[in-house]
Amino acid sequence: MSTTSVFDVCVVGAGLWGSAAAKYCSERDGISVCLVGPSEPKTQQDRLSSRVFGAHHDEGRIYRTADPIFEWGELARRSVEKYRDIELTTGLSFHEEVGCMFVTVKGSNYHNRTSEFAKKNDVHIKDISHAEALHRIEFMSLDMLTSKHGEEGVVTLLQETEAGHMNPRQLLAAQLQIARSRGCEVVNDVVNHVIDHEDEDIIELVTDSNRVIKARRVLLCTGAYTAVGGLLPRGQVLDLKLTKQQVVFIEVSEKDRKRLSGMPVVILHEDRDYGRDGYILPPIQYTNGKYYLKIGHHTVGEEELSSNEEMVAWFRSQGTSETEIRLSRNIRQLFPELVPLSTHSETCVTVTTPTRKLYCDMVTPRLGVLVGGNGWGAKSSDEIGRMGAGMILSGSWDHDMPQDVFKAMWKES
C-alpha cells in the first residue's frame, strides 16, 4: 500500500467503468488516485467461492454506435472512436470491426428508432436484402422469421463500420495499464464499508483485509453491489433493479469456424412472446483455446433478483435449463447445418434503471455514483468513465451531455 495518507480520489470497483474513470482521473496533474476492486478469479473454483463477481469476465461483447436510445448510441460513438488509440498506447488489441447486423420486423419500434438514430447522428447503416443477409453469413437461415412474417416483413439493417465485437478483459487490462502508468494505485481488495467523516472532509473505505483507505472524494462504480452491498449512506437506496442474464456458448468445429469467419455480430428483435429475440457473436477463441458462438437473450428470462444471497447463488449457477434449451433452439433454427461440439451456459446480472439511462450523480459532496449499465455499458465504458471522472474531480456535473438525463433516482424509504 502507498504511503499516501489521503488520496484525492478513490474509485471503488475495478471493472470496465471503474478502470476507465481511474484512468481519466489520473490524467489530472497533481491528483492522487486509487482504484480498489478484486482481481478476476483465475479458476472456476475461485469463481464459485467468490462473493463478488464482475460482468467483464468474458472474451466477447457486442459494440456498435447505432442504437434506438440516443444517449447510449452517443456514449458508444465517443468510446469506439478511442478504441484504436487505446490499443496503440498499450499494445493490447481488444476489438474486431466485423460489423453488426440487426434483424427485426419491418416497421417495428426497434426498426424505426434504430433507423432514425442513424439518420440523425450520421451513423452509416443500411437496409440490405434478404439475399444479401444470407450471403453475409454463409449458412444462416431466416426461416424462423420469414415463415411468420414473410420475406417482405423481415428487415435487416447492417452497420459495417464502428461495429463488431470487443474483448472486455483486454479492454480492462489496457485501461488499467494506462491508469498505472499515470500514477494510479490499484488495490485488489473488496470494499465493505464506506464511512463519510463530514467533520474531517474525508471518506474512509474499509476492505475485506481490514485495510483503511482514506480519500477526499470517492466514486462508486460497483455495479450490482451498489444495490445490495450497503455502501451508500444509511437510508439511501438507489432505484435499481437486478435481473438475471444467461448466455449459451456453442463450441464449433474448425470447419464451421472457417465457414463463419468474417460473420458480423447479430442482434435479433422479433417476437418476445416466443423468446425469439437475442444476440449472437461469431466464433471467438476463449482462454481454453476453443472457439464458441455466444448467444444471449433480451427481456425473456430477465427475472428479478431481490437480495445479495439470490444474486450470489445465480452467479454461482449455470442458469436454467429452460433458457439454455430456448437459446440453443434459436441457434439450431438460425444455423440448421451447424454441428455443435459442446454446449454450456454461464450467468450474469444486469443493473437496470427506470429511465434506462445510467446514473452519474453526486450522493454527498464527497461521494458519487456511476452505475446502471442496463446491459449496454461495456461498449460505452470509456466515455462513461470520462463522465464519472469529470464529476468526481469537480464535485459537480462536468460533461457536455445534459445532467438531468443521468441523475440518480431513489427508492422511497
**Which residue segments constitute the domains of the chain, with CATH numbers given?**
7-57+168-237+354-406 (3.50.50.60), 100-160+241-352 (3.30.9.10)
pLDDT score, position 4: 58
| Nearest-angstrom CA–CA distance, 47 and 125 | 40
pLDDT score, position 254: 96
**Exposure class string for 204-220: b at 16+ Cβ within 10 A, else e:** bbebeeeeebbbbbbbb
Inter-axis angle of helices 381-394 and 16-26, to 10 degrees? 50
Contacts for 276 with CB less than 8 Å, ≥ 6 apart? 144, 145, 268, 270, 330
| Nearest-angstrom CA–CA distance, 391 and 355 | 20
DSSP state of 299: S
What values do phi and psi take at 80, rounded to 5? Answer: -60, -35
pLDDT score, position 159: 95
pLDDT score, position 286: 94
- CB-CB neighbours of 87 under 10 Å: 16
pLDDT score, position 271: 57
Sign of CA dihedral 224, 228, 234, 235: positive
pLDDT score, position 275: 54
- Distance of CA 80 to CAs 1, 85, 162, 282, Å? 34, 10, 7, 19
The pLDDT tens digits along the chain (413 residues) read 444 589 999 999 999 999 999 999 999 999 999 999 998 877 767 666 677 777 778 899 999 999 888 899 999 999 999 999 999 999 999 999 999 999 988 888 888 888 888 888 888 999 998 888 888 887 888 888 888 888 888 899 999 999 999 999 999 999 999 999 999 999 999 999 999 988 889 999 999 999 999 999 999 999 999 988 789 988 789 999 999 999 999 999 999 999 998 899 999 887 554 556 789 999 999 999 999 999 998 777 688 998 989 999 999 999 999 999 989 998 999 999 999 999 999 999 999 999 999 999 999 999 999 999 999 999 999 999 999 999 999 999 999 999 999 999 999 86
pLDDT score, position 309: 92
- CB-CB neighbours of 328 under 10 Å: 16
115: left (phi over 0), alpha (psi -120 to 50) or beta: alpha
